[in-house]
Amino acid sequence: MRIYIVDDHSLFRDGLISLLEADGHQVVGQAGDGVTAVEAVPTLLPDLILLDINMPRMNGIEALRQIKATRPETRVIMLTVSEDEDNLVDAIRSGADGYLLKHLNAREFLEMVNGLERGEAAITRQMTMRLLKHMTSSEPSADPILLSEREIEILKLVASGKSNQSIADQLSISENTVKYHLKNILQKLGVSNRTEAVTIAMQKGYL
């Protein structure tokens, strides 16, 4: 996987590069601020960006929004020290494919990164629960958006951490069919990624 690292601490970037390259990934570049990252992405075309939040010139949340607006297929994991729930919610709503804290050990971190290629969200259960708690307490309930039995079944499997291929195998359908259902689920719930879909579905009582 081609990975781009954006963090304003050079020693931290160097450590990540060593860790990722030892795991077989290709680090295509690095930056210390959001402006440089946004400008470089169209040229470097990374598969994944590891993006800090608190950086000079442009913070990570704004950089995330601009990157997703111009290249939505690039996956972005926020890798930060911030446990602030507002940052977490803003990141997920802005299209982040994961939200990881820097205190993760190397094994956990690599498992989360590699899980993206299996269709899994890169977010710990602890942060998922924080996201759910925040959205449940801060958003008024709305009329439920009807999901089909199959869509609910797939969402339950997504919530349990299953990859697209694992879901397909368990339900005896193709992976493309799983992707089709997930696309419909995201549209119905008005969200941009799997993590937010699970959170909203829990809030509305589907799961």
In a 10 Å sphere around its CB, with 0-12 CB exposed, 13-18 middle and 19+ buried, how is residue 64 labelled? Answer: buried
98-116 pLDDT per residue, tens: 899 998 999 999 998 998 8
pLDDT at 159: 85
The total of other beta-carbon atoms located within 10 Å of residue 44's CB is 15
| pLDDT band with cut points at 50, 70 and 90 for residue 136 | low
The two structure tokens encoding residue 207: 């799961």
* Domain boundaries 144-203, corresponding CATH code: 1.10.10.10
- The domain locations on the chain are 2-136, 144-203
Statement: residue 138 has pLDDT above 60: no
Closest CA to 113 of 78, 138, 80, 141: 78
Of all residues in the chain, what percent carry a pLDDT higher than 70?
93
Cα 129 from Cα 98, distance rounded (Å): 14
* Domain boundaries 2-136, corresponding CATH code: 3.40.50.2300
Q: What are phi and psi of 154, to 5 degrees?
A: -65, -40
Closest CA to 50 of 83, 20, 22: 20
Return the bridge partners of 6, or none: 31, 51
pTM of the shown model: 0.68
CB 190 within 8 A of CB 126: no
The two structure tokens encoding residue 179: 């992707």
Cα 204 from Cα 112, distance rounded (Å): 27
Please give the distance of CA 14 from its chain centroid, rounded to a whole number: 23
